[in-house]
Structure 1
Amino acid sequence: MGSNTFGRRRHMCEWADLAADDTDLAAVLAEGQGHHLSPFHLLSVPGMSASDQRTCSELWTRERRVAAQLERDALAFSFQPSEKRKERHKIRLGYLSNDFHEHATAHLLIEVLEAHDRDAFEVHAYSFGADDGLPMRRRLMAACDRFVDISAMADNAAAQLIYDDAVDILIDLKGFTSQARSGIALLRPAPVVVNYLGYPGTMGAGICDYVITDPFLTPPASAAFYSEAFAYMRNTYHPHGRRTPVGDRPSRREAGLPADGFVFCCFNQPYKISPQMFDIWCRLLACVPDSVLWLLDTPHAAGNLRSEAIARGIDARRLVFGANMGQAEHLRRLQLADLMLDTSPFNAHTTASDALWVGLPFVTCPGDTFPSRVAGSILHAIGLPDLVTDSPDAYFDLAYTLATDEERLADVRARLAANRLTAPLFDVTAYTADLESLYGAMSARHRAHLPPAIIGMHG
């Protein structure tokens, strides 16, 4: 079974053969035959461990690493201190991405780029995505000291450009996500290469030196499951600014919601919804009269989810599907929900911090993998660790309690409102300073000819 078939079934919430597929995946990894299995697809499979995910990344990149080494030998990059580098006191950062336009990654990162200390850092961006002509693209370009469109360049040409620009730290924002070009990072055009933000997992040996993370997300004991050294942020690895406008809340009718009843929601992409999690959601609908579940409307998945709800004894009309829309309109409508339900083992990321930004709490249940712990990291950084549960049963119990106990939910919402502008999650200035301290430590270790190691552990 190839990655395309596996991915299509999850995107469509076509679950009839999913358990057998997942068993096949485990067997493929155990036999060391996963070189055609995309690591990204493995992130949403229940039961896959962080060790399995590293194995998949190593297999996926095995042949690519061999080919990249030949190309690296031909390029002959050398990072001995040059006169140009000696004269420069600033650390030159190179952010590499396909998403420098109207995209979730851009919304998360833009205020960080704008907040970088220009006395200590130069910010370069290397874009291999389309210019959509929208305001976010212009804002990103303005936030960088140098912005280069490398979309028409081959990987080796792009790597040569980055090397010629004397970038000190190359930050890969895509990993193995859609439209990624990990081949550029594989060519090692900078002395330090970092895995950050876009891909929630390890990229395997020979690509990145560090992964930006936090102690909740990847505890020190999990280091063996990552090829990269941990670069620990003080609070959460996840950035989110304070300048995003929320807008006025629309009417329930305008959003396609019933006039009354509790609104559970989850606007995660459908491939993140597992049958096990959907079981819990349907139990909640059964136990909370007149409640509805508000989901993202995507082709093919909506019909399958309605069928799955009926199979669990739930009226399909209690699933409400909202259109995929721009961030501004999405944040407006999100205020109508009462409680967000997180997915597992692939959590909400931007969807989670956006929910908290508009004042919407959510419940999560972390596992032992990077993507299953992101939402818990975010909740800790906003001062709501009590919304992080330790089992599926506890997840159900807490969601049910919040849906049926008005005072309990009001207390959570009040604490969220009080923490919104004081807790670390949305403090971009402090976040950026913490990130810069990690970049500084990486650069210092390289200059001292020391190998990558865990950095940023705070006492």
Structure 2
Amino acid sequence: HPFHALHLPLSPPLRLDNARLYSSQIGPLPPVPLSYEGNPSRLRIGYVSSDFRTHPTAHLMGGLLPLHDRKRFEVFGYSLRKDEGSPYRKRIMEGCDHFIDLDDLSDEEAARRIAGDGIHILVDLNGYTQHARPGIFARRPAPIQVNYLGFPGTLGAPWMDYIIADPFVLTEEEARYYTEKPVYLPECYQVNDRHPIAETGITRASQGLPEQAFIFCCFNAHRKIEPEVFHLWMEILREVPGSVLWLFREGDRSDAHLLEEAERQGIGRHRLVFSGFMEKSRHLERLRLADLFLDTFTYNGHTTTSDALWAGVPVITCPGESFPSRVAASLLRAVGLPELIADDPSAYRSLAIRLSRERPALSEIRSRLWENRLTHPLFDTGRFARHLEEAFLRLWGLHRAHPEKG
């Protein structure tokens, strides 16, 4: 599956071949008739997602929708799943001018509904992630179709025109193996939101963390933890006596595999600590208990990196060549901390060890991060909205000049 392939160290041509093969089993399909206005006073933007709920996509997107300039844009939200009653769903519904539930419609019915709404630019927030419905996009319900946010790679699909990126996450060399044309935003491609951080007085003891130890953490999904990075983490723990690695709890089997591998590499089980799901504001509060966030390599933390940075926890990353391996570095650049981007795994290891030993240096970085969150582009959602809108207007201008090219 193309989403699973993003987690593997595959070559760009192989990723592209895989995506093309997958898309060829879906479409293209006969297009539905379009009914958009050719010279609109406001562009109609449609966002399609199965994740307008308690999900990283909604965590990132929630603040963007109400900030769109209503003099120039009319915002449609299309949900592929029913309301589960979360505050994230409610916030997204309130941020749209129109919110439509497509869950009960077939792909063709959904495509006809979108086309009937006269959408100019349709944004696919799923790609090939869980509950995606590419069969809607394969019927071409809008003149411009854009891959964004949910799937950091090419869909290999003839019906997807563009992918939103930034010059760091999608290099010119990598873009050669994308069927979508890249639309580059000037800073970071990933929208972010300013979430409240709880102040409940959460303690290390309540999370099973030692009070005096240095706490490394990584709340990325376990599927992102490849052998190379786990081996480095064990080396780091070995070099920093008494330190622990704080991870997300995914279940007995996955957690047990990590504990067994740590033990096999000579690290006691007690030095890995697992914590489960927690409501967002309290999760951000507990993150602040950590000293340093260690990123994964092939597929970085995306929302998890944003969460750590918003909570004020420095993140060390080591970018690769592919889009999903370069996101955390893009986030760090946009928050003014490029010194936390390691050139190679050896530098990543050395940086983590050095910062664990040089507490004043780490404290200075933490203080700078806490200030930069509010002064740098990364968490300035309004600034991001203007950049995205300029991109949409460029795409519409290109379409009007060359409608035959889509």
TM-score, normalised by the number of residues in structure 1: 0.86
State the match for 1:393 in structure 2: 346
Q: 1: CA distance between counterparts of 2:391 and 2:307?
A: 25
Flag the 1:185–1:251 CA change in 2: closer, same or farther, 3 A: same
Which range moved further: 136-145 or 193-202? 136-145
Q: CA deviation at 1:64?
A: 1.7
Q: Distance in 2 between matches of 1:405 and 1:361?
A: 14
Q: Shift of residue 49 of structure 1?
A: 2.3
Report the Cα distance in structure 2 between the residues aligned to 1:355 and 1:407, rounded to whole angstroms.
20
* Contact 1:265–1:341 (8 Å) recurs in 2: yes
Worse-matched range after superposition: 276-285 or 198-207: 198-207
1:61 to 15, 19, 23: 23
Query: Which AA in structure 2 matches 1:275?
Result: P
CA contact (8 A) 1:126 1:148 kept: yes
Question: C-alpha distance in 2, partners of 1:125/1:150?
Answer: 10
Moved over 4 A (4+): 450-453
Please tell me whether residue 331 in structure 1 is matched to residue 284 in structure 2: yes
Which one of 213, 219, 229 corresponds to residue 267 of structure 1? 219
CA contact (8 A) 1:445 1:451 kept: no
Spell out the pairing of 1:69-80 with structure 2 (5 A cutoff): 69=29, 71-72=30-31, 75=32, 77-78=33-34
Instruction: Check the 8 A contact 1:168/1:192 in 2, yes or no.
Output: yes
Contact 1:209 1:452 (C-alpha < 8 Å) held by counterparts: no
How far apart are 1:328 and its partner, in Å? 1.6
Could you tell me which of 163, 177, 186 is aligned with 2:129? 177
Q: Provide the rounded CA distance (Å) in 2 between the counterparts of 1:440 and 1:87.
A: 12
CA contact (8 A) 1:44 1:344 kept: no
Rounded Cα–Cα distance in structure 2 between residues aligned with 1:389 and 1:87: 48
The offset of 1:140, in angstroms, is 1.1
Percent of pairs with identical residues: 44
| Distance across 2 between alignment mates of 1:229 and 1:307 | 44
Structure 2 Cα separation of the partners of residues 98 and 164 of structure 1: 20
Q: Is the 8 A contact 1:97 1:174 kept in 2?
A: yes
Q: Which moved more, 1:362-371 or 1:87-96?
A: 87-96
* 2:13 alignment partner in structure 1: 51
Distance in 1 of aligned mates of 2:325 and 2:314: 18
C-alpha contact (below 8 Å) 2:174/2:322 kept by paired residues:
no
Q: Check whether the contact 2:80–2:131 (CA below 8 A) recurs between aligned residues.
A: no
Cα 1:256/1:451, change in 2 over 3 Å: farther
CA distance in 1, matches of 2:188, 2:159: 23
In 2: Cα distance, 1:340 partner to 1:188 partner: 42
Alignment of 1:189-200 (within 5 A): 189-200=141-152
Q: What's the CA shift for 1:451?
A: 7.0
Aligned length: 404
Q: List per-residue Cα deviations over 1:129-153 (Å, max 9, x = no partner).
A: 1311122212111110100000011
CA distance in 1, matches of 2:52, 2:300: 23
Deviations 1:425-457 (A, max 9, x none): 01111110000000001111111116779xxxx
Cα contact 1:49–1:368 (8 A) shared by 2: no
Contact 2:165 2:184 in 1 (8 A): yes
Alignment partner of 1:306: what SS?
Answer: helix
2:245 counterpart letter in structure 1: L
1:428 aligns with 2:381: yes
Q: Which residue of 2 aligns with 1:135?
A: 87
1:268-283 aligned within 5 A: 268-283=220-235
Superposed CA offset, 1:247-275 (max 9, x none): 22511111221122000000011000001
- Aligned pairs (5 A) from 1:12-411: 38-46=1-9, 48-65=10-27, 68-69=28-29, 71-72=30-31, 75=32, 77-78=33-34, 85-86=37-38, 88-242=40-194, 244-248=195-199, 249-299=201-251, 300-411=253-364
TM-score (norm. length: structure 2): 0.97
Q: Which moved more, 1:396-405 or 1:214-223?
A: 214-223
Q: Distance in 1 between matches of 2:257 and 2:38?
A: 60
The gaps in structure 1 that reach 5 residues or longer are: 1-37, 454-459
- What secondary structure does 2:323 align onto? coil
Q: Cα distance 1:337–1:451, how it changes in 2: closer, same or farther (>3 A)?
A: farther
Deviation at 1:116, TM superposition (A): 0.3
Q: Secondary structure at the match of 2:63?
A: helix
State the shift of 1:408 in Å.
1.7
Deviation at 1:382, TM superposition (A): 0.4
> How much has 1:87 moved relative to structure 2?
6.2
CA positional deviation for 1:114: 1.1
Between 443-452 and 173-182, the greater mean CA deviation after superposition: 443-452
Alpha-carbon spacing, 1:163–1:180, altered in 2? closer, same or farther (3 Å): same
* Contact in 1 for aligned 2:26/2:134 (Cα 8 Å): no
Separation of aligned partners in 1, 2:164 and 2:117? 23
- Report the Cα distance in structure 2 between the residues aligned to 1:166 and 1:93, rounded to whole angstroms: 9
Q: Which runs of 5+ in 2 are unaligned?
A: none
Aligned residues: CA RMSD: 1.4
